[in-house]
Amino acid sequence: MGTSFVINVPATSANIGPGFDVMGLSLSLYLTVTARVEEDASQAKSGGDSADNNITIVYEGENSGGLSLDPKSNLITRTALYVLNCSGIKRFPRPTQVLVNNRIPLGRGLGSSGAAVVAGVLLANAVGSLCLTQQRMLDYCLMIEHHPDNVAAALVGGFVASYLIDVDRSGNVPASEADEAEVLRREREQRAAANDESVKLPPDNIGHFLRLGCSPKIKAIAIIPQFELATSKARAALPGSYKTQDVVFNLQRLAVLTTALGRETPDPWLIYRAMEDKVHQPYRMHLIPGLPEILATFNPDNTPGLLGICLSGAGPTILALAVSDFDDIAAKIREVFDRQPNGGIATEYKVLDIVSEGASCAETPF
C-alpha cells in the first residue's frame, strides 16, 4: 500500500517569434511522471541509487535509451532532490519509484527540459508535502532553467508572458551587466569554486507571469526535424549586443502579438507580421537548414489557414500557428526540409492544441 502521485506537464513553444525569453505557449503533448511512494520503509527497492536517495527511476518514451536514470543526474529527480534539500530533506522521504512517460521530443525546441524541471519541482512538492505556492514553484524552476518562457507556460498553461526581476542579488554583479539568471549562475560558480556545498534557496518572487488570451480557433503545428539542437548551443549563437532598430522591431511586434492572438477571429496578416523576429532567429539560421526558406516563403496569401511561422523555442522545430488546413501547411513546410542537400532532413509533425491548463499533480492510493 502507498500513495501514487501522477504529474502531467505540457510541452511548450517559447518565443513565438519576437518574444525571446518572454513568451510561451503550452501544448497538448505531455511529460507524465508517476511517483509510487511506499507507506512502509521496508518496501524500499534495492539496487541503483535507491540506497542513497530512496528512489528508483523507470523511463519510457522519447529517447528512452539516452537519458541517465541516476537520480542525481536525471533532470527530473535532480531538480526534486534540490527542492527537497532546500527544505532540509536530504533524500526522498519514503521509498519511491518514479515512472516517467515522456512524449516530448528532447532537444527540439518543445520545452522538454522546462517540462522536466517543472515535473521535478511538483514531484518534490508532492513527496515532501511542501505545500509550495505556484509562485514559489516558479522560483525553484528558475534556479534550474534560467529563462522563464518555457517553465512559466508549462507551470500555468496557455499563452503566457513572463519576466525575471532585474536586481543585483550577488552584491557584486551590477544588474545592468547581467540578467537575474546570469547573476544566479555566477553565484553558483563562485560557491562551487569555494567548495561551498550549502544549498542555495531561490530568492523570493524572481519570476512573474501573465496569462494572455488565445483564440480557441488557433492550433499549433509543430514540424519536428529528426535531429537535436541543444538549447545551450542555440543560445551560444546569439550576439552580445543588438542594434537599436532591431530591438525596436521586436518590441513593436511583441506588443501587437500579445493581443492579436486573443482576438476571437484572428487577423492572419496582423499575426504574421507580429511573429517576425530580429533578435534570435537570424542568428540561428545556420543551425537549422531550411529555416531561411521557410520563413521567407510561406505567408497567409499563399498558404490558406496560416497565421504565422517561427522557430519553436531554440529550434530546430518550426511552429506554425493556423486556423485550418493544418495537414497541408505541415506538408508544405516538410517539403522544404525534404529538399535539403545530402538527402534532406527527415521530419515528423504534430497538430497540437494550445492548452489552457498547466502542470498538474493528482494523488491516489495504490
Contacts for 358 with CB less than 8 Å, ≥ 6 apart: 9, 10, 26, 153, 154, 155, 156, 157, 158
Rounded Cα distance between 338 and 282, Å, is 22
- Rule CB under 6 A: which of 314-343 touch ligand LJ64HWYM? 314
Q: How far is the CB of 2 from ligand ADP (least distance, A)?
A: 23
Q: Which three cell numbers stand for residue 32?
A: 507524465
Cell 542568428 sits at which residue? Answer: 283
Strands (E), 214-276: 219-225
Assess 113 for contact with ligand ADP (CB under 6 A): yes
Binding segment for ligand LJ64HWYM (CB under 6 A), chosen from 104-112, 189-197, 208-216, 293-301, is: 104-112
Assess 118 for contact with ligand LJ64HWYM (CB under 6 A): no
Rounded Cα distance between 331 and 348, Å, is 10
Q: How far is the CB of 279 from ligand LJ64HWYM (least distance, A)?
A: 9
> Measured between alpha carbons, how far is residue 222 from residues 40, 99, 142, 229, 318 in Å?
44, 26, 25, 15, 6
* Closer residue to ligand LJ64HWYM (CB): 114 or 305: 114
Q: Which of 74, 258, 281, 347 binds ligand ADP (CB under 6 A)?
A: 74
Choose among ligand ADP, ligand LJ64HWYM, none what residue 21 binds, the Cβ cut-off being 5 to 8 Å by kind. Answer: ligand LJ64HWYM
Q: How far is the CB of 172 from ligand LJ64HWYM (least distance, A)?
A: 26
Give the 3-state secondary structure of residue 68: coil
Rounded Cα distance between 243 and 260, Å, is 26
Give the 3-state secondary structure of residue 64: coil
Task: Count CA atoms closer than 13 A to 352's CA, side-chain side.
Answer: 29
Assess 21 for contact with ligand LJ64HWYM (CB under 6 A): yes
Assess 14 for contact with ligand LJ64HWYM (CB under 6 A): yes
Number of residues forming the site for ligand ADP (CB under 6 A): 21
Choose among ligand LJ64HWYM, ligand ADP, none what residue 224 binds, the Cβ cut-off being 5 to 8 Å by kind. Answer: none
Rounded Cα distance between 139 and 87, Å, is 14
- Rule CB under 6 A: which of 142-161 touch ligand LJ64HWYM? 147, 149-150
Assess 31 for contact with ligand ADP (CB under 6 A): yes
Give the per-residue contact string, 277-296, with ligand LJ64HWYM (x = CB under 6 A; - = no): ---x----------------
How many other C-beta atoms can be found within 10 angstroms of the C-beta atom of residue 109? Answer: 30
Give the 3-state secondary structure of residue 352: strand
Q: How far is the CB of 122 from ligand ADP (least distance, A)?
A: 13
Q: Which three cell numbers stand for residue 229?
A: 539542437
Kindly report the length of the chain: 366
Assess 95 for contact with ligand ADP (CB under 6 A): no
Question: Which residue type, as a one-letter code, is found at position 155?
Answer: L
Q: How far is the CB of 150 from ligand ADP (least distance, A)?
A: 7
> Measured between alpha carbons, how far is residue 208 from residues 112, 184, 193 in Å?
21, 17, 31
Assess 276 for contact with ligand LJ64HWYM (CB under 6 A): no
Assess 111 for contact with ligand ADP (CB under 6 A): yes
- Rule CB under 6 A: which of 253-272 touch ligand LJ64HWYM? none
Q: How far is the CB of 181 from ligand ADP (least distance, A)?
A: 14
Asked if residues 112 and 102 have their Cβ atoms less than 8 Å apart, the reply is yes
Strands (E), 39-169: 55-61, 96-102, 159-164
Report the interface residues with ligand ADP, using CB under 6 A.
Answer: 31, 67, 74-76, 100, 102, 106-114, 116, 230-231, 313-314
Instruction: Point out which residues bind ligand LJ64HWYM (CB under 6 A).
Output: 14-15, 20-21, 109-111, 113, 147, 149-150, 231, 234-235, 280, 313-314
